[in-house]
Amino acid sequence: VMALYTGSWNPLGNVAFYRKFELYSMQWKDDVNVNLNECFVAASSFSGCIVRDGTSKELSKAVTVYFDISELFVFYSFVIYFLPFTATLKKERKNQKDLNAKSFLSVYTACGYLISSFKLPFDNLTYFGWSIDEELICVQEDGTVTFYDIFLALQDSLILHEEIRDTRVHECRLFHHDHVTGIAAVTFANKILVVNNIKDPKARYFPVIPGVEPTKSAWNVIACDGKETQIILATENNRLFLINATNFIELDYRIAKPFDFITNISTSFDGKKLAFLTNTGVLWIGFLYEKDLKKNCEFETKSKTKPQFMMWCGEDAVACLWKNILLLVGKEKEWLNFVIEPPVHLVEEIDGIRIIGNDVHEFLQQVPEVVVDVFRIGSVSAGALLLEASKEFQKRTHKADEYMKMLSDRHEVELAVRQCVETAGHEYTVSTQKMLLRAASFGKCFVPETDPKFFVSMCQTLRVLNAIRNPNIGIPMTYNQLQYLSIDVVIQKLVLRHHYFIAIKIAKFLKIPEERGVMRILSNWAYYKVRQVQLDDEQVAREIAEKLGYTTGISYSDIACKAIDFGRTHLAIKLLDHELKATQQVPLLLKLKQYQMAMKRADESGDMDLIYTCIIMMKNILPSRDFLMIVRNYPVAYSLYQKYCKQENFEKLKDLYNQEDDFNAQAYCWILESYKSENIATRQDCLRSAAESFRKAKHDFMSSETDEQIKLLKYQSTMEEKFHHQKFVDLSVHQTIKKLLQEGEYKLAEELKKDRKVPDKRFWWLKITVLAEQGQWLELEKFSKVKKSPIGYEPFVDICLKHKNKFEAQKYVPKVKEENKVRYHVKTGQLEEAAKIAFDEKDVEALEFIQSKCSTNRPLKERVEAMKLQLTRR
């Protein structure tokens, strides 16, 4: 029975087996325009689309280029192998009579279904390839690089280097590292140019090796994550060089049979293994260790013809194709031949080689070790025994128990379950997968404590793989490739092919977080709908809103941006109606010139910063009249605009108030403007205008006060002229009187006090303060006798004490009010007088207060105590 599963196996040496099986029957086999025998084909890895480049009918050959749109996910951490079509493509094109023929590209799925077609707008194409962002890269001979998506829509373009316009591109490669894509090019000037990141193109030339012409040499790129980009180059005189951005070294190697030059160089995906073929047919296989080459073997191919393809098949063998013979050579010199029906094209994968023909699409791989253990004839591995036990159990025979007893005795039931599950992952046929998983499920019954996560995970993974392998989708991915890429990449592949439904099903089935799964898919679906310019805006907006609703994490503003990019402004406006975040909605509405709607949304949000931003942007765009018509409808926005004008454009603020006949606000504007001027006459004019505006506003009090301010300003101006060294302007009435008192102009201060109707109490307080500050004690005493003090004489005592003049303070104590005499006598240190007054008033509490102040005067303290006793006896 096992022979059914090993019939396609071929041994390479004593240990390894290789198998070749069909992936798809190509749907283009009946299309007379597709014939690989008349085409050039270039391919990359991981289950992709086919780009067919058919030139004009006058040419004797069409050119077909096979690409994988997910090459980007494959090579970014590995060495990029040589795409052999490049130089041949240029050579063949130059041999054609019509050199100006433009390429007509057609994109197919991996099983041959047509996706799209396009005629390139240029005729000097040098290279095709795919970037890490899944963009088709077309490199022209003049160094122009154009980017297309998988539906051949132009995305971007750049120039590799201005110098290349003159020197021209002879040959180039794409390489991937650290999640970016780079380009390496050899010019006809025999220089090597490297751009490490096409999204941030900074071209630099690698060192030139004296006497070496790269245009006549075989070369390749080594680019690994976290390491610098390197070029490996084989010269015409049998020398190998490793070149980086700053220097180069010659690699030492040994080979027994003499040769003239190296025709092919191939590196493994991990960048550690190297193989090259000489013109004498010797295949050298080894590995790169630091800066040395270590040989594994030399193999005589017995063919001096350059092979159509040379590449690594996995990590342990190198494949060479000559017409209908595919030679597989191992690292220990073992070999294996496959007879291939030409024409075919080989595609290097991390775990094998895909073989694309006119009729079928096949896969050649080393049989995984676990598969060999389970299916090899005569195998007694744990997985093989469990598989036999499962088959016998289904037949209801006693042999099932015997097999399980063997496994139990060897304590390998759990190992057997794992082997069957792993083997199922490596099988492409669904029936074989089921058989193995059924066996694993049977074995799990005997080890109930086994963690079921691996089994469940494999079942989920196989459901995904089987779904995307369907010919209608056409992604023939293996288990190893999926493990390498991750499920996120698979979903991205489906999204790029517009398989949104199956992508969402997978995301939900695997319970991928919303932001990585469903939301991302729906966002891409919405972008796709926006790009369908033939559809009605209303219909598209309605479909998107119905599908997305108000799903958290999906931004309608981002979708609207895409609509703007495609010139669909009406659709963008419709989409923005569903945007919940005003901070994202308002800027786009302004960009779309929907000013009324933008201001309304900003005002409704209550976000002052957003309203302010909206105001500034509209002010700079709209005519003043239109702007004001909108802003005045929103009180908060209008208030903010007035505040802005007050700070930035005062004349504009006055114009606003003039237009609205707001006399009260106009008056305040005149007042503010008056204080911005240093010229007294200008100030007075502004204040007169303010007073007039107040009168128009029927605000009599403010009008009167403004007139008074004008008089004060005139008076202060006169004082400044009289006292040149003093500043009076901008002082208040209180400050002006104080200034006059300080200058000793008591009469003028008195006159100003009467003129401005300053209350007596305020004037007396001000004057005694100034006199005390200046130490005018005699003047203070005179002033106290002018008339009865309206503020009493307590302030006189306090002001004297404040300035530490107890002697002067004592002069005013007899004049204070009776109820304050005891306290003020104590304040001025007249304790005996205070005691007498307290005794006469029979105030025991006052005596106690006085006694507390007599701590250093014992005789007085005793007299006060006697007074207290005398009063208490009464």
Q: Which residue has the higher pLDDT, 34 or 376?
A: 376
pLDDT at 547 over 60: yes
Contact 476, 23 (CB under 8 A): yes
pLDDT at 861 over 60: yes
Mean pLDDT of the residues in the chain: 84
Architecture per CATH, domain 31-60+102-219, reads as 7 Propeller (2.130)
**pLDDT at res. 68:** 37
Q: Is 229 left (phi over 0), alpha (psi -120 to 50) or beta?
A: beta
Summarize pLDDT for 399-424 with one digit per residue, the tens.
999 999 999 999 999 999 999 999 99
Long-range pairs for 666-675: beta carbons < 8 A, 24 or more residues apart: 666/690, 666/693, 667/691, 667/693, 667/694, 667/697, 667/699, 667/702, 667/706, 671/706, 672/646, 675/730
Burial class (CB in 10 A: 0-12, 13-18, 19+), 580: exposed
**pLDDT at res. 54:** 52
Indicate the range of 96-105, 398-407, 488-497, 613-622 predicted with least confidence.
96-105
Per-residue pLDDT band for 868 (boundaries 50, 70, 90) equals confident
pLDDT at 95 over 80: no
pLDDT at 55 over 60: no
pLDDT at 504 over 90: yes
pLDDT at 144 over 70: yes
**pLDDT at res. 145:** 94
What's the CA gap between 98 and 63, in Å, rounded? 14
**pLDDT at res. 98:** 41
* Mean pLDDT computed over 158-167: 90
Among 205-209, 237-241, 794-798, name the most confident range: 205-209
* Mean pLDDT computed over 851-865: 78
Summarize pLDDT for 815-826 with one digit per residue, the tens.
888 888 888 888
Burial class (CB in 10 A: 0-12, 13-18, 19+), 545: middle
Q: β-strands 50-54, 104-108: how paired?
A: antiparallel
pLDDT at 63 over 80: no
**pLDDT at res. 124:** 84
Crossing angle of the two packed helices 777-784 and 760-774, in degrees rounded to 10 = 160
pTM for the whole structure = 0.73
For residue 80, what is the DSSP state?
Answer: B
* Mean pLDDT computed over 350-373: 94
* Mean pLDDT computed over 792-817: 88
Per-residue pLDDT band for 48 (boundaries 50, 70, 90) equals low
Summarize pLDDT for 625-649 with one digit per residue, the tens.
888 888 888 889 888 888 877 777 7
Give the distance from CA 731 to its chain's centroid: 58
**pLDDT at res. 710:** 79
Summarize pLDDT for 646-704 with one digit per residue, the tens.
777 777 767 777 776 677 777 777 777 777 767 778 777 778 877 887 888 787 888 87
**Dihedral sign computed on CA atoms, order 377, 383, 387, 389:** positive
Contact 713, 680 (CB under 8 A): yes
* Mean pLDDT computed over 367-389: 94
Summarize pLDDT for 210-230 with one digit per residue, the tens.
888 998 889 988 887 778 888
pLDDT at 73 over 80: no
pLDDT at 29 over 50: yes
* Mean pLDDT computed over 138-153: 90
Per-residue pLDDT band for 394 (boundaries 50, 70, 90) equals very high
Please report which helix (H) or strand (E) contains residue 865, including its range. helix 858-873
* Mean pLDDT computed over 853-857: 77
pLDDT at 81 over 50: no
**pLDDT at res. 47:** 67
Q: Is 770 left (phi over 0), alpha (psi -120 to 50) or beta?
A: alpha
Q: Which residue has the higher pLDDT, 827 or 279?
A: 279
* Mean pLDDT computed over 193-221: 90
* Mean pLDDT computed over 601-620: 89
Per-residue pLDDT band for 57 (boundaries 50, 70, 90) equals very low
Per-residue pLDDT band for 92 (boundaries 50, 70, 90) equals very low
Please report, for the chain, the start and end positions of each structural domain, with discontinuous segments joined by +: 31-60+102-219, 368-450, 581-647, 817-873
Among 121-135, 596-610, 827-841, name the most confident range: 596-610
**pLDDT at res. 52:** 60
Contact 139, 186 (CB under 8 A): no
**pLDDT at res. 2:** 62
Q: Which of 420, 480, 478, 376 is nearest to 9 (CA)?
A: 376
What's the CA gap between 773 and 321, in Å, rounded? 111
pLDDT at 86 over 50: no
